[in-house]
Amino acid sequence: MELNWEQVVVDAADPVALGRWWAEALGWVVVNDAPEEYEIRPEPDRVPGLLFTPVPEAKTVKNRLHLDFRPVDQAAEVSRLLALGARHADVGQGDESWVVLMDPEGNEFCVLSGRRS
The pLDDT tens digits along the chain (117 residues) read 899 999 999 999 999 999 999 999 999 999 999 999 999 999 999 999 999 999 999 888 888 899 999 999 999 999 999 999 999 997 666 677 889 999 999 999 999 987 665
* Confidence at residue 1, expressed as pLDDT on a 0 to 100 scale: 85
DSSP string, the chain: ------EEEEEESSHHHHHHHHHHHHT-EEEEEETTEEEEESSTT-S-EEEEEE-SSPP-S--SS-EEE--S-HHHHHHHHHHHT-EE--SS--S-SSEEEE-TT--EEEEPSPPP-
Task: Classify domain 63-117 at the CATH class level.
Answer: alpha beta
Residue 63 zone, left/alpha/beta (φ > 0; ψ -120 to 50; rest): beta
> Could you state, in order of their start, the residue ranges of all structural domains in the chain?
1-56, 63-117
- Indicate the fold that domain 1-56 takes in CATH: 3.30.720
